[in-house]
């Protein structure tokens, strides 16, 4: 398959080139030349298939023969060794738990697939690949654990100092080995800007084989379609004749973009709800048709604190920059911190279910959607993007209770943090990378 840049100024790329470059040379994001389609017959054959069979079927369409099927199958089996539960709260309302991977966050799906794909291509070319990543929380740890020990790779993580939870920081600063964490004096948008500047630095790229593991990388995005396909088929089986609605906690909009891809591939998805926090640039666009990004605001749902989301460029491309077409598929709702805490309390009181702040944003956004769309009676799933134990402070504030940490998180807390302080000035990052 051929991939093009959203800026339309760079040379078309194969999956391998798009994966190893991360960002196109013109600064755009890679998108498939044509979104692969599944026929009704193919969808029917996958209707009761295991998760990994669905993942392989989708990956094969995008791979288009670049990696032999047997190796691609092995990659899928290595990546997805954990379950994707669909938990029913009440009739028609589900939580799709995406936090059962190694770092207890949904980013494990994309990061592990990308890591194994990058490792395969790096070994094929006998070169050392440097993965440069900006993180607002869970991406960093997922990438760190995904690439840990993968031959011919090293990872440089940039995270905003003081703007991720303690558990998130411990996860991404204690991996060691081929992973280095840079603690940036700024916010996530600064981290993302620094990464983009590095990819546009021709002199730096002459000396380093750079790629990204953020959702700007198309091979981080492709596996995010897997759980939408799986979830939609599960819901259709439970509610024959009805298509699924997904409510998505949204920050950099890679997660939602993966869903849009799954819908356009033919999976039975009716509509999306984009739940944002105070960083509501896309929400306002969906309402008004004007995109006016604002500076990032810190919130309880910190992984969604993105003022100018990168993947919005892909969304605009997939909808041909047609606001009405995008708004027909996606409804956006902003959820405040007070609403987030209130939702955690109400969901626990009603269902005995504990959700993290990001999932709470998605749940409240679904409620708002239903308040104004009474005719929408199809099954809906809220994507739960992180284990609540990763946000103990918010759970304590909302429920006045301490949540038990899973063993793997407690082990991380007991380790010593190792990070490199970094300013938000690109010259400092350039100097650091040039010395690698």
Instruction: Please provide the DSSP assignment of 219-269 as one string.
Output: HHHGGGGHHHHHHHHHHHHHSTT--EEEEEE-SSSHHHHHHHHHHHHT-SE
Q: Indicate if the pLDDT at residue 137 is higher than 80.
A: no
Q: Indicate if the pLDDT at residue 312 is higher than 70.
A: yes
Q: Which residues, listed in sequence order, are joined to residue 87 by a DSSP beta bridge?
A: 95
CA angle 327, 328, 333 (to 5 degrees): 45
Please give the Cα distance from 330 to 287 (Å, whole number).
10
pTM summary value:
0.90
Q: Indicate if the pLDDT at residue 359 is higher than 90.
A: yes
Mean pLDDT of the 398-406 span: 92
Q: How confident is the model at residue 216 (pLDDT cuts 50, 70, 90)?
A: confident
Q: Which of the 8 DSSP states describes residue 50? A: -
pLDDT tens-digit readout, 53-112:
999 999 999 999 999 999 999 999 999 999 999 999 999 999 999 999 999 999 999 999
Q: How confident is the model at residue 375 (pLDDT cuts 50, 70, 90)?
A: low
| 3-state SS class at 427 | helix
Please give the Cα distance from 159 to 235 (Å, whole number).
36
Residues 6+ apart with CB under 8 A from 264: 35, 318
Q: Poorest-confidence range of 47-51, 129-133, 135-139?
A: 135-139
Average model confidence (pLDDT) across the chain: 94
Q: Are 215 and 248 within 8 A, CB to CB? A: no
Please give the Cα distance from 295 to 423 (Å, whole number).
18
pLDDT of 48: 92
Percent of the chain's residues with pLDDT above 90: 81
Which of 235, 228, 246, 269 has its CA nearest to residue 382? 246
Which of 135, 133, 179 has its CA nearest to residue 160? 135
Indicate which residues carry an active-site annotation: 107
Mean pLDDT of the 240-261 span: 96
Bigger pLDDT: 11 or 140? 11
Which of 39, 42, 20, 40 has its CA nearest to residue 30? 20
pLDDT of 303: 86
Residue 136 tokens read as: 């607002």
Residue 65 tokens read as: 């023969």
pLDDT tens-digit readout, 313-344:
999 999 999 999 999 999 999 999 999 999 99
How far are the Cα atoms of 104, 388, 407 from residue 97, in angstroms, in the given order? 10, 11, 19
How far are the Cα atoms of 110, 111, 270, 302, 431 from residue 182, in angstroms, in the given order? 22, 19, 41, 18, 13
Residue 131 tokens read as: 């993965």
pLDDT tens-digit readout, 155-171:
999 999 998 888 889 98
Mean pLDDT of the 134-142 span: 82
Please give the Cα distance from 27 to 197 (Å, whole number).
9
pLDDT of 431: 96
Residue 201 tokens read as: 């630095």
Q: How confident is the model at residue 214 (pLDDT cuts 50, 70, 90)?
A: confident
Phi-psi label, residue 367: left if phi above 0, alpha if psi -120 to 50, beta otherwise: alpha
pLDDT of 376: 65
Q: How confident is the model at residue 269 (pLDDT cuts 50, 70, 90)?
A: very high
| 3-state SS class at 406 | coil
Residue 55 tokens read as: 């993942």
Please give the Cα distance from 143 to 266 (Å, whole number).
29
Mean pLDDT of the 288-293 span: 95
pLDDT of 41: 97
Q: End-to-end CA distance of the chain: give it in Å, rounded.
A: 33
Specify the CATH number for 71-105+221-399; select among 3.40.190.290, 1.10.1060.10, 1.10.3720.10, 3.40.50.1100: 3.40.50.1100
CA angle 230, 233, 236 (to 5 degrees): 150
Instruction: Please provide the DSSP assignment of 127-165 as one string.
Output: -PEEEEEE-SSHHHHHHHHHHTT-TTEEEEEEEETTSS-
pLDDT of 109: 96
pLDDT of 373: 85
Mean pLDDT of the 376-389 span: 91
Q: Indicate if the pLDDT at residue 220 is higher than 70.
A: yes
SS3 content of the chain, % helix, strand, coil (to 5): 50, 15, 35
Q: How confident is the model at residue 358 (pLDDT cuts 50, 70, 90)?
A: very high
Residues 6+ apart with CB under 8 A from 259: 224, 225, 228, 246, 248, 269, 272
Mean pLDDT of the 146-153 span: 90
How far are the Cα atoms of 43, 167, 238, 271 from residue 38, in angstroms, in the given order? 6, 40, 21, 18
pLDDT tens-digit readout, 184-213:
999 988 998 999 899 889 899 888 988 888
């Amino acid at each position: 398959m051929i991939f093009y840049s959203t800026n339309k100024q760079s040379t078309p790329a194969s999956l391998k080139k798009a994966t190893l470059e991360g960002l196109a040379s013109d600064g755009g994001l890679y998108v498939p030349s044509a979104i692969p389609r599944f026929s009704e017959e193919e969808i029917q054959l996958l209707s009761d298939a295991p998760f990994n069979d669905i993942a392989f079927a989708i990956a094969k369409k995008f791979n288009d023969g670049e990696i032999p099927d047997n190796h691609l199958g092995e990659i899928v089996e290595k990546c997805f060794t954990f379950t994707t539960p669909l938990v029913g709260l009440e009739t028609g309302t589900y939580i799709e738990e995406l936090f059962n991977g190694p770092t207890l966050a949904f980013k494990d799906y994309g990061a592990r697939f990308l890591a194994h794909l990058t490792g395969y291509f790096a070994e094929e070319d006998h070169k050392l690949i440097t993965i440069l990543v900006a993180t607002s929380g869970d991406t960093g740890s997922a990438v760190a654990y995904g690439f840990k020990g993968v031959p011919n790779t090293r990872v440089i993580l940039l995270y905003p100092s003081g703007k991720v939870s303690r558990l998130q920081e411990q996860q991404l600063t204690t991996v060691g080995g081929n992973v280095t964490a840079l603690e940036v004096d700024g916010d996530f948008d600064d981290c993302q800007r620094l990464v983009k500047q590095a990819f546009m630095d021709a002199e730096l790229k002459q000396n380093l084989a750079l790629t990204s593991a953020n959702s700007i990388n198309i091979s981080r995005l492709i596996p995010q379609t897997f759980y939408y396909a799986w979830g939609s088929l599960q819901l259709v089986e439970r509610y024959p004749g009805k298509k699924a609605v997904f409510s998505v906690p949204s920050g950099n909009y890679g997660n939602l973009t993966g869903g849009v891809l799954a819908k356009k591939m033919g999976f039975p998805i009716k509509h999306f709800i984009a739940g944002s926090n105070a960083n509501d640039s896309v929400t306002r666009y969906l309402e008004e048709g004007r995109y006016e990004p604002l500076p990032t605001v810190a919130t309880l749902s910190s992984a969604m604190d993105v003022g100018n989301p990168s993947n919005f460029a892909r969304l605009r491309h997939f909808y041909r920059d047609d606001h009405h077409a995008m708004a027909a598929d996606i409804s956006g709702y902003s959820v405040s911190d007070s609403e987030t805490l209130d939702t955690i309390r109400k969901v626990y009181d009603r269902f005995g279910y504990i959700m993290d702040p990001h999932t709470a944003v998605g749940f409240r956004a679904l409620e708002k959607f239903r308040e104004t769309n009474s005719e929408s009676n199809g099954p809906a799933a809220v994507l739960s993007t992180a284990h609540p134990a990763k946000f103990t402070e918010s759970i304590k504030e909302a429920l006045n209770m301490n949540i038990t940490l899973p063993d793997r998180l407690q082990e991380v807390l007991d380790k010593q943090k190792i990070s490199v302080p970094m300013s938000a000035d690109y010259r400092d990052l350039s100097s650091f990378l040039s010395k690698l």
